[in-house]
Structure 1
Amino acid sequence: MDGGKPPLDPDCEAFTGSELGALAHLYRGEVYRSTIWRTRLDATTNWSVVSLGLALTISYQTADSSALPLFLVAFLIGVFLYLEARRYRYFNVWRARARWLEIYFYAPMLRREKVEDPVWLDRLAEDYQRPEHHIAFSRALGRRLRRNYMWIFTVQTMALYGKCLGAAGGAAGFESLHIGAVPGWVVAALNLVGFLGLAFYTWWVWLQDRKRFEERVNPISMG
């Protein structure tokens, strides 16, 4: 008894048993690699959170503690953001290949449909033959900002202004941020301008991603 299942499409069985086994192992390998790089992404995010936590501890230790560590930690978080955006481009390669197999191989197989469409097979083969990043660094940067780092920068900026304005209020509260001859209010303004610039960039990349997804019939693809 076949339990009422529809018959397999004749083209579904064009793959030999050994080829099906190889594809299954290929999929497992891509999932494993995407998982490894997903872990690496989490590592840089954790480093950013720990660094911000240390800066908060130092600046808020006493009422007279300087707020400068909260400003300087933004540069360290920026380095972690750069590293994570680079790692995301690699992660996206393995993730995209795994999703490609799920959509065009496993899903049609479960529906008893044709799985040997030469378009997706050629696209996947080309990606293995000439591997390359599927998204630009600028888009990867925007995505990591949207997912994680804008929240971290938001906490950093709020903590910095909370420390300065809570210490003495007004311009006097920014004196703990002075660097040499540079007044504290200038440093605070630079932090705010940088934060607003990142927020605008995140929003712009989000608009580009949404437009790109709306223009495609299938929103999941290589990249």
Structure 2
Amino acid sequence: MDDTSDRLETQDEEVAADAGTDPETFLSLLPHFYRGSVSQAVSAQDRLDRTTDWAITLIAALLSVVFASEDMPAYLLLIGLILLAMFLFFEVRRYRFYDVWRSRVRFVQENTFANAFDPAGVEHHPNWREEIADDLRQPTFKVSYLEALSRRVRRVYALLFIVVGVAWVSKITLFTPEAQWTEAAELPGIPGLAVAIVIALFYIAVLLVAFWPRKREAKGEIHDVEPGHWKETDDERQ
């Protein structure tokens, strides 16, 4: 029984080794790996988008409830801020998993398809196969938690936070004319001025996270790059 198991393990190793050393076999195997990685990236992107959709739906429903009547308290919008923050932290985790698959797809594109289309191009990763093999054996996140948080805040949640903040200011001022804004903003046992200061500090923290100045680590994403040319215009062809 042990001899049979050892022979099977040896055969498995030989099959894998043959696939890695024979260019034709490897190139026939590569598209399956690439399609699988793309499928995983699309699935992760879909889960990411669903979280964003739920966050937007929540804010839309909350705004319709709060501004439906003057009697609706402004602190409901603060509950909305808390729920938004919860969605954000869920989304950051999902984004980091999405980035694992997206990075693998970009890595294959850069080191196989790009070089196939332009063999004279520079190969940035001479050991790219070893890099992918190591990541398949020991998967790791490619971006830090803080970078993922910064990206999701800057791209999506900063605008949602601003919408809720503007709605809260409007509710305690324009839509509560019979009371001072400090009275409309107060919570049980907490003065309205203190609530406003806490919210202001929260938005300062959001801005700091959104415009985090550290160099980005995410691989292959388009940011802070001038648009380039893809095809020649009719005048250039003539």
Q: Determine if the TM-score, normalized by the shorter chain, exceeds 0.5.
A: yes
What secondary structure is seen at the aligned counterpart in 2 of 1:209?
coil
How do residues 25-36 of structure 1 correspond to structure 2 at under 5 angstroms?
Answer: 25-36=32-43
**TM-score, length basis structure 2:** 0.76
Kindly state the Cα deviation for residue 28 of structure 1 after the two structures are TM-superposed: 0.6
Amino acid in the other structure paired with 2:147: R
| Cα distance in structure 2, aligned partners of 1:209 and 1:163 | 39
2:177 paired with 1:142: no
68, 71, 80: which one aligns with 1:61: 68
Matched, 1:176 2:184: yes
Count the aligned residue pairs. 200
Alignment match, 2:214: 208
Partner of residue 216, structure 1: none
Match of 2:82 in 1: 75
Question: Which structure's residues are more often helix, by fraction?
Answer: 1
Q: Which residue identity is paired with 1:149? A: Y
For 1:30, give the aligned amino acid: S
Structure 2 unaligned regions, length at least 5: 1-20, 222-238
Deviation track 1:73-92 (CA, whole Å, cap 9, x = no partner) reads 11111010000000111000
Report the Cα distance in structure 2 between the residues aligned to 1:191 and 1:87, rounded to whole angstroms: 27
Question: Could you say if the C-alpha distance between residues 16 and 162 of structure 1 is closer, same or farther in structure 2, counting changes exceeding 3 Å?
Answer: same
2:16 counterpart of 1:16: no
- Please report how far the alpha carbon of residue 65 of structure 1 lies from its aligned counterpart in structure 2 after TM superposition: 2.0
Partners of 1:159 and 1:74 in 2: CA distance: 11
Q: Distance in 2 between matches of 1:52 and 1:189?
A: 22
Residues in 1 aligned to 2:159 and 2:31: alpha-carbon distance in whole angstroms: 38
Amino acid of the structure 1 residue aligned with 2:57: V
| Alpha-carbon distance in structure 2 between the residues aligned to 1:15 and 1:52 | 56
Which structure has the bigger radius of gyration? 2
Structure of higher RCO (CA pairs closer than 8 Å, 6+ residues apart): 1
Which residue in the other structure is 2:199 paired with? 191
1:156 aligns with 2:164: yes
Q: Does structure 1 conserve the Cα–Cα contact (< 8 Å) formed by 2:70 and 2:176?
A: no
Show the counterpart of 2:92: 85
| Whole-Å separation in 2 of the counterparts to 1:15 and 1:110 | 21
TM-score (norm 1): 0.81
Q: Secondary structure at the match of 2:143?
A: coil
User: Within 2, Cα distance between the matches of 1:202 and 1:56?
Assistant: 24
> Structure 1's 83 and 101: CA in aligned 2 closer, same or farther, altered over 3 A?
same
Equivalent position of 1:220 in the other structure:
220
TM superposition shift of 1:171: 7.6
Partner of 2:44: 37
Q: Which letter does structure 2 place at the counterpart of 1:66?
A: P
